[in-house]
Structure 1
Amino acid sequence: MLRGMRKASSNWVGKTIMALVMGVLIISFGVWGIADIFRGFGQSTVAKVGHTEISLNEFRQIYTDRLQQIGRQVGRPLTPDQARAFGLDRQVLQQTIAEAALDEEARRLGLGQSDDQIRQLIMNDPNFKGVDGNFDPNRFQAVIRNFGYTEQRYVADQRKVSLRRQITGTIGAGLEPPKAMLEVLTRFQNEQRAIEFVKLDAAQAGTIDAPSPEALAAYFEDHKVQFRAPEFRKIAFVVISPEEIAKWSQVSDEDAKKLFDQRKDRLGTPEKREVHQIVFPNVAEAQAARERLVGGLSFEDLGKERGLSASDVDLGLVTKSSLDPAIADAVFALPVGEISQPIQGRLGTAIVKVDKIEPGVEPNYASMAGEIKREIATERARVKVGELRDKMEDERGAGTSVVDAAQKLGLTAVTIDAVDRSGRAPDGQPVASIPQGLDVVSQAFNSDVGVDNDPISFRGGYVWYDVLAITPSRDRNLDEVRDQVEARWRQDQIAAKLKTKATEMVQKLEQGGKLADEAAAIGAKVETASGFKRDDQPAGVPTNLVAAAFRTAKDGVGQTPVTGGSEVIVFRVTDIVDPALDAASDAVKKLKDSIDRALTDEQVASYVNKLETDIGTSINQAAFAQVTGANQ
């Protein structure tokens, strides 16, 4: 906080704003404090749902976590102003209140979840599995730490989530979308169209004479803003991420082999056997049944006699660990096709037969060495990132520049002499030294020279940056951009001529003309496309042409420009095919699942709204604004 205040006060504008903010806070404490008493709130409560209070600190933690998660997804942090502009503050509040209402209902219903159930839920989460496909405690800790959780907080959160799912899972049970809805949506999604079309390009526009100096000057004046020199900024940044640091890490074969040996039993593929089995209450019955099986009776027929289904008898391909330990040794020692002697198991006496053997695959260090070394290097890098982050923050807190701090810590800082908002250098080319996915440019354009910026989260690490200089945007004169102006003028002239020609063609087609004749008259060729749907992208067919075709009736004609170019397309819809509803098709099943989820979400939303009304919900707008920055 102190660092933030120091940053905010780094220039005269910031000092003025900070003075105003402090004045507003002093006034607001007096006004909002009194209002909270009459509302039944404490200043530390954001909302109350039934008997559950959502504290200011709790909501701040939730809100911060959500914004950081979104920031990681989009590659750059969101400011409080941006979050409010997107409505994220209200969305997070509504979701938090809904979750609190479900928690209240879970308590009222007496629902619970054992520690073992939560443990299994977490251990089965694919996000926490290592290279061997099993739960990896180190990966678990790294993932939840990256999302701002402690283990205790994550387990508590998952317990609540599990109980909420118990409630919401029953709400949508049995919901079925109406057949009419399926038919309409199927028709919309799967309707197919066929078209014939002609592309008009510069060749059909004819000769474009060079503009006179007066015409070019007039065009430049009318479009001057399009040729304005953008603002450029000089920035410096340094990246500290596991990926970057892992590049430096040298993992020895000794270390990698040690980890391989520790996991060897889990990395290989165990032997599997296709097994038939029938369990009898005693050895005598098992022995009698074995004699019949040896005599030619099948396991399936014997199972039917005993009232067993095919799945009760045929265990399929199984591993040794999945069988009754008392039976497993005998099964995995039995040759293919041989019927075993009676085997005493935990549930009775079994007769088994092995129909097929799939040998196990022993793990090979040479084939896995690269992956294991990368995992070790990344894990070491995560630790190193934390150490370097703390050192970098100490340097930044002491007022050291990014370049000097990087040099002091043995890191490589990148300096870009000039970049505009779009990430391009003055020559119009993208700046190659910015890593893919790093949005340091937009952050720099939201900052200023001399400001101590917060680091950007990036690929599990951090990026620190400084704005070193600003070159303001300015109007260019015609001599600086003459070639660009003339090229743009020519494009506009071509586009205008093509639009006029396309309009004339459409009029002739509407009067009964043929597209082939019109195309031949202007030296163009007719192309066709058929069998495409609304979301398809046929080869050679621009996206906006697909959209235009689905806005046009059968045998109807139209024109559409090609996005990003000066071409114009004239087209006719030659056929429309309405799909039949095949309830058994995969497409309809997926659509039905999608509608089911939407209906369930709607039911859950209605249920939660009713819960919130019944148990009572109130919001402390002042505390909410304090967390989200609306009162800053």
Structure 2
Amino acid sequence: MSKGKTSKTMVWILMAMLILGLGGFGVTNLSGAVRTIGDVGGKEISINDYARALQDELRAIEAQTGQPMSFAQGQALGLDRAVLGQLVVRRAMDAENTRLGISIGDENLRRELISIPAFQGLDGGFDREAYAFAIDQAGMNESDFEDSVREETARSLLQGAVVSGIAMPAAYADTVIGYVAEQRDFTWTRLSEDNLTREIPEPTEDQISAYYEANIDDFMVPATRQITYAWLSPEMIIDSVEVDEEALRALYDERNDEFNRPERRLVERLVFPNMEAAEVARKQLDNGQTTFEALVKSRGLELSDIDMGDVSMAELGQAGAAVFEVPTGAIAGPVQSDLGPALFRTNGILPAQSTSFEDARADLREELAAERARRVIDAQIGDIDDLLAAGATLEELAKETEMQTGTLDWHETVEHPIAGYEAFRAVVGVVTKDDFPQIEVLEDGGIFALRLDGETEAHPAPLDEVREEAAAAWRAAEVATALNALVETLMPRLEEGTDFTSFGFNAIEETGQDRSAFVPGTPQGFMQTVFDMAPGEIRTMPDGAGLTLVRLNAINAPSTGAPEIAAVAGSITQQVSAGIAQDIFDAYANSLQSAYPVNLNQQALNAVHSQLQ
């Protein structure tokens, strides 16, 4: 239960911080007399809880992406439905707790409240005035807040009871590890026409013709659609677009941080409660009594907890000068930092970067010209649409505008610049002869219109057009047949264990290869074949105009006692157990929603949404 206790404490720490941070946002009655957006089994969902939850999710997304997000954008992503679903589950759990009689007493509630740092005074004790002020600022009363603490704690107890004790057996991880980490030792070689004792003659006309007829499917021309198109892309007009010097200068100044970056350093910062403690730690480092890693661990931290990433001198504040004086790997300090006395370790130096306007000018012009070219094309769409509506053909369109025309025999595998656009492929596959050309927009801001002129069914290419391909394919088949026959004659000796080199083959030894290994020079599916083999087994695989011969020498089971294998096994067990626990809880939550009726007030929901617009 200690884990659950820690989880609950963190939840209420975050809730208290949220109450203080929101400063009363949205906690007044958003809809006047309406106080709820609905209820689940008689447990009301407060209109203010819904509003706060929505804003919390928006802020979380903004923190992750570094970009502002409006409510409209969040709604388009289904954020409102996700938040509402979470609140419905919570209230369904509250209804179930009421039925089961699960709650916490006053003494447990008291312990929860006094353990929240936001409600503690300078002496570390519970500050009654700070507590009352925070609750009042949030627009709540103490009774409502304490009820919410009781409900959240009860929900944690219920959820813990549902998912506790769920763990995958060790056999599952062992099976996965056995599959993933098992290795193979094998010997292989690639045989070609050079390994044959007799030369393969050139094919006769009859042999080519016979091969062509017998393998006609290999020489099919795919069904094609004869297309005429008119196309205008930003690249076509980018050289004619004018970009003034002032705009280039403005863009350079706007992106100055990208072109001119001061020297930066990869830094770790270990903060101490006071300067005396920091100086003692520095002396221990200098005397070799400890290491920086040991100091970090003694503070109950990991290196990832103190990693500041790459920072400039200015970002380090008053500690900047000291940190930037030491070389890579050295420790600076103790010096005062924004968080108190600290030791800093420099792990890398990123030199200053300076790109002059003249050096950046070409790239800036290309960027601005491309953007302006897209705007020029966009401005022409209306006029071009009018020409098409008036009956202009694609050929006439090219004469009246900057669009360029062309023809294309289109099929799924055709290689052509315009065929690489998804927008073009979406239209060209469904257009009919009865469709009138219309302007469509491409992914890069270009535009096109097309016309279907005709269609050709799939058919065999005439032999005269594919004679060389048919002759080469006949020869490859003859080489493969001869190589297979050669291997068949040698197989008895190979199965006895005779080395490949005894037959003049270039044997290649591979050891410790797992399923994900890539062995250059081998055909597709090679490793899968190797892992299907038994020790001592020999197999051949077709390989274009040659043959790959492989013998499996040994199967190496993973060393389950190795630390790295044990760590992976533990991670697999933990992840799968967590996934199963989540699935079980989701199923339980769904059953609760079925057991307790959900009633929602759409007008109240709309009122909240309008306030957040």
TM category, shorter: 0.5 to 0.7
Could you state the TM-score of these two structures normalised by the residue count of structure 2? Answer: 0.56
Look up the match of 2:552. 573
The answer to whether the Cα contact below 8 Å between 1:534 and 1:547 also exists between their aligned partners in 2 is: yes
The answer to whether the Cα contact below 8 Å between 1:421 and 1:442 also exists between their aligned partners in 2 is: no
Structure 1 residues 197-208: aligned runs within 5 Å: 197-204=188-195, 206-208=198-200
Q: Distance in 2 between matches of 1:233 and 1:157?
A: 38
- Residues 497, 107 of structure 1: CA spacing in aligned structure 2 closer, same or farther, 3 A cutoff? farther
1:193 aligns with 2:178: no
Q: Distance in 2 between matches of 1:185 and 1:476?
A: 49
Look up the match of 1:254. 246
Structure 1 residues 329-340: aligned runs within 5 Å: none
Residue 550 of structure 1: CA displacement? 0.9
Q: Distance in 2 between matches of 1:496 and 1:187?
A: 38
- Residues 405, 182 of structure 1: CA spacing in aligned structure 2 closer, same or farther, 3 A cutoff? farther
The answer to whether the Cα contact below 8 Å between 1:231 and 1:421 also exists between their aligned partners in 2 is: no
- Residues 376, 600 of structure 1: CA spacing in aligned structure 2 closer, same or farther, 3 A cutoff? farther
Deviations for 1:512-560, whole angstroms, at most 9, x for unmatched residues? 251437623xxx4333322322111122333333222111111221222
Look up the match of 1:539. 520
Deviations for 1:428-477, whole angstroms, at most 9, x for unmatched residues? xxx45446565846853543445347747534665543333444544555
The DSSP-based 3-state class of the residue aligned with 1:458 is coil
The answer to whether the Cα contact below 8 Å between 2:182 and 2:558 also exists between their aligned partners in 1 is: yes
Aligned with 2:443 (options 441, 453, 458): 458
Look up the match of 1:529. 510
Aligned with 2:60 (options 116, 121, 133): 121
Look up the match of 2:402. 410
The answer to whether the Cα contact below 8 Å between 1:237 and 1:463 also exists between their aligned partners in 2 is: yes
Aligned-partner residue type, residue 580 of structure 1: S
Look up the match of 1:444. 428
Residue 277 of structure 1: CA displacement? 6.8
Aligned-partner residue type, residue 215 of structure 2: H
Aligned-partner residue type, residue 476 of structure 2: Q
Deviations for 1:249-295, whole angstroms, at most 9, x for unmatched residues? 45444223224434547874588898787778xxxxxxxx88x99xx
Look up the match of 1:495. 480
Aligned-partner residue type, residue 124 of structure 1: A
- Residues 547, 176 of structure 1: CA spacing in aligned structure 2 closer, same or farther, 3 A cutoff? same
Aligned-partner residue type, residue 515 of structure 2: R
Look up the match of 2:143. none
Q: Distance in 2 between matches of 1:420 and 1:467?
A: 13
- Residues 387, 177 of structure 1: CA spacing in aligned structure 2 closer, same or farther, 3 A cutoff? farther
The DSSP-based 3-state class of the residue aligned with 1:235 is strand
The DSSP-based 3-state class of the residue aligned with 2:404 is coil
Structure 1 residues 312-331: aligned runs within 5 Å: none
Deviations for 1:461-509, whole angstroms, at most 9, x for unmatched residues? 6554333344454455555544444433333333333333333433443
The answer to whether the Cα contact below 8 Å between 1:175 and 1:596 also exists between their aligned partners in 2 is: no
Q: Distance in 2 between matches of 1:271 and 1:226?
A: 59
The answer to whether the Cα contact below 8 Å between 1:506 and 1:559 also exists between their aligned partners in 2 is: no
The DSSP-based 3-state class of the residue aligned with 2:535 is coil
Q: Distance in 2 between matches of 1:436 and 1:311?
A: 51
Q: Distance in 1 between matches of 2:231 and 2:181?
A: 47
Residue 573 of structure 1: CA displacement? 0.8
- Residues 589, 528 of structure 1: CA spacing in aligned structure 2 closer, same or farther, 3 A cutoff? same
Aligned with 1:235 (options 192, 207, 227): 227
Q: Distance in 2 between matches of 1:107 and 1:461?
A: 53
Look up the match of 2:498. 514
Aligned-partner residue type, residue 489 of structure 1: W
Look up the match of 1:29. none
Deviations for 1:589-622, whole angstroms, at most 9, x for unmatched residues? 67866776666566555655665566469xxxxx
Q: Distance in 1 between matches of 2:575 and 2:241?
A: 46
Q: Distance in 2 between matches of 1:599 and 1:250?
A: 61
The answer to whether the Cα contact below 8 Å between 1:232 and 1:473 also exists between their aligned partners in 2 is: yes
Residue 173 of structure 1: CA displacement? 10
The answer to whether the Cα contact below 8 Å between 1:177 and 1:592 also exists between their aligned partners in 2 is: no
Aligned with 1:152 (options 49, 52, 72): 72
Aligned-partner residue type, residue 74 of structure 2: Y
The total of aligned residue pairs comes to 452
Q: Distance in 1 between matches of 2:189 and 2:219?
A: 33
Could you state the TM-score of these two structures normalised by the residue count of structure 1? Answer: 0.55
The answer to whether the Cα contact below 8 Å between 1:240 and 1:389 also exists between their aligned partners in 2 is: no
- Residues 616, 483 of structure 1: CA spacing in aligned structure 2 closer, same or farther, 3 A cutoff? same
Q: Distance in 2 between matches of 1:198 and 1:278?
A: 63
Q: Distance in 2 between matches of 1:574 and 1:300?
A: 58
Deviations for 1:145-198, whole angstroms, at most 9, x for unmatched residues? xxxxx9714356363376368989999999765432222222222222122223
The DSSP-based 3-state class of the residue aligned with 2:511 is strand
Deviations for 1:50-105, whole angstroms, at most 9, x for unmatched residues? xxxxxxxxxxxxxxxxxxxxxxxxxxxxxxxxxxxxxxxxxxxxxxxxxxxxx99x
The answer to whether the Cα contact below 8 Å between 1:229 and 1:475 also exists between their aligned partners in 2 is: yes
The DSSP-based 3-state class of the residue aligned with 2:525 is helix
Q: Distance in 2 between matches of 1:315 and 1:535?
A: 35
Aligned-partner residue type, residue 503 of structure 2: A
Q: Distance in 2 between matches of 1:476 and 1:385?
A: 41
- Residues 189, 338 of structure 1: CA spacing in aligned structure 2 closer, same or farther, 3 A cutoff? closer
The answer to whether the Cα contact below 8 Å between 2:233 and 2:444 also exists between their aligned partners in 1 is: yes
The answer to whether the Cα contact below 8 Å between 2:58 and 2:71 also exists between their aligned partners in 1 is: no
Aligned-partner residue type, residue 534 of structure 1: R
Q: Distance in 2 between matches of 1:403 and 1:118?
A: 53
- Residues 385, 154 of structure 1: CA spacing in aligned structure 2 closer, same or farther, 3 A cutoff? farther
Q: Distance in 2 between matches of 1:446 and 1:560?
A: 41
Look up the match of 2:215. 223
Look up the match of 1:76. none
Q: Distance in 2 between matches of 1:595 and 1:118?
A: 31
The answer to whether the Cα contact below 8 Å between 1:260 and 1:365 also exists between their aligned partners in 2 is: no
The DSSP-based 3-state class of the residue aligned with 1:124 is helix
- Residues 249, 570 of structure 1: CA spacing in aligned structure 2 closer, same or farther, 3 A cutoff? same
Structure 1 residues 553-592: aligned runs within 5 Å: 553-562=534-543, 565-581=544-560, 584-585=563-564
- Residues 495, 255 of structure 1: CA spacing in aligned structure 2 closer, same or farther, 3 A cutoff? same
The answer to whether the Cα contact below 8 Å between 1:447 and 1:453 also exists between their aligned partners in 2 is: no
Look up the match of 2:135. none
Aligned-partner residue type, residue 516 of structure 1: F
Residue ranges of structure 2 left out of the alignment (5+ in a row): 1-39, 91-155, 285-297, 326-331, 596-613
Q: Distance in 2 between matches of 1:322 and 1:121?
A: 24
Deviations for 1:220-263, whole angstroms, at most 9, x for unmatched residues? 44334443444444323355566766666454442232244345
Aligned-partner residue type, residue 444 of structure 1: V
Aligned-partner residue type, residue 487 of structure 1: A
